[in-house]
Amino acid sequence: MEQCLREGFIDYTVEADQRYVPKILTNNKDKKRKVLDKILSQLYVCDSFLFSVAFLTKSGIACLKDALIQNRTATGKILASQYLNFTEPGALRELLKFPNVELRMVTEERAFHAKGYLFHRSQAGPENYTMVIGSSNMTANALTHNQEWNVFFTSAENGSLIRQTKEEFDALWDTAEVVDEAWIQAYESVYTHNKPKRQSVYVPFHKVQPNAMQKAALAGIQKLRDDGQDRGLLISATGTGKTYLSAFDVLKTHPRRFLFVVHRELIVKSARDSYVRIGINPADT
């Protein structure tokens, strides 16, 4: 443990057990890194957990749902906030489905932005606490896409940082409101009233251009059309740009209507954003 702290805070050339070395966690598409990966690795094996986040969305719960299902023996407390009425009622209802998870909301009129994920594993030896603390809320974008900075570290039970964090969490937890179906129904009317009519989508200044794979695929699709074919199959690895490819083809052919079929709502929202970045508004097609 001392060697891990030395590598993390004093001398990066020290060779220590990388499982316990403090690290910065970011979402980096090029390096195939996600904040979510570290959180899931801890959530699958922990005995208990404490989460504090400002915002909860259904997309964020969807990212963690499998781990929550697989590790139902772990007891957890999740503390969120009513700040800006951003937390989704549907996300709260999803969490109520897990009897091993307690849920409370900070409702005081103040900017609650505390974000941290604390895990405890009794069989992990003396270094039995791990924590991710930083900027990531429990939303899919924050856990997988946004530019986020978080610190991951490991601690023994008597470590000062862990003790301070638990004290802060407990103090907030004791004053927060218990969330049940009645509470959600009361909050839902406030949330619906304050929810924006349209969600904004970030559109980059530069024009998105097809990459090499997409150019080859677009040419192949066009050849199929020229040969009178009405169907085709594209097989490509995750993250290579299949959704953008479909958007480029729609932009090229301008169909009166088109159907994009996926198996999860989260993918639909992500695909819509991709189409908008290309210059297509799905609501207008």
pLDDT in tens, 198-253: 444 444 444 678 888 889 999 999 999 999 998 889 888 877 888 889 999 988 88
Do both 124 and 260 map to the same domain? Answer: no
Residues 167-194: what's their mean pLDDT?
A: 90
Lowest-confidence region among 106-120, 166-180, 259-273: 259-273
CA 37 to chain centre: 10
Whether residue 271 contacts residue 260, with contact meaning beta carbons closer than 8 Å, is answered with yes
Which residue in the block uniquely carries the two structure tokens 């969807």? 62
Going across the sheet that includes 177-178, the strands are 23-25, 150-155, 129-134, 116-120, 48-52, 75-81, 101-106, 177-178
The separation between the first and the last C-alpha atoms of the chain, rounded to the nearest angstrom, is 58
Do both 26 and 123 map to the same domain? Answer: yes
Distance CA 60, CA 11 (A): 36
- Residue 206 belongs to a domain: no
Do both 235 and 130 map to the same domain? Answer: no
Do both 68 and 169 map to the same domain? Answer: yes
pTM above 0.85, yes or no: no
Distance CA 139, CA 146 (A): 10
Do both 228 and 183 map to the same domain? Answer: no
Do both 102 and 227 map to the same domain? Answer: no
Do both 9 and 60 map to the same domain? Answer: yes
Do both 221 and 89 map to the same domain? Answer: no
Last residue of a domain, one of 147, 166, 194: 194
Whether residue 73 contacts residue 100, with contact meaning beta carbons closer than 8 Å, is answered with yes
Q: Is the pLDDT of residue 109 over 80?
A: no
Residues 165-181: what's their mean pLDDT?
A: 94
Number of domains the chain contains: 2
- Residue 31 belongs to a domain: yes
Domain that holds residue 119: 2-194
Q: Is the pLDDT of residue 196 over 60?
A: no
- Residue 205 belongs to a domain: no
Average pLDDT for the chain: 87
- Residue 131 belongs to a domain: yes
- Residue 203 belongs to a domain: no
Half-sphere exposure of 192 (CA within 13 A, CB side): 7
Give me the percent of the chain exceeding a pLDDT of 70.
Answer: 91
Any idea how long the chain is?
285
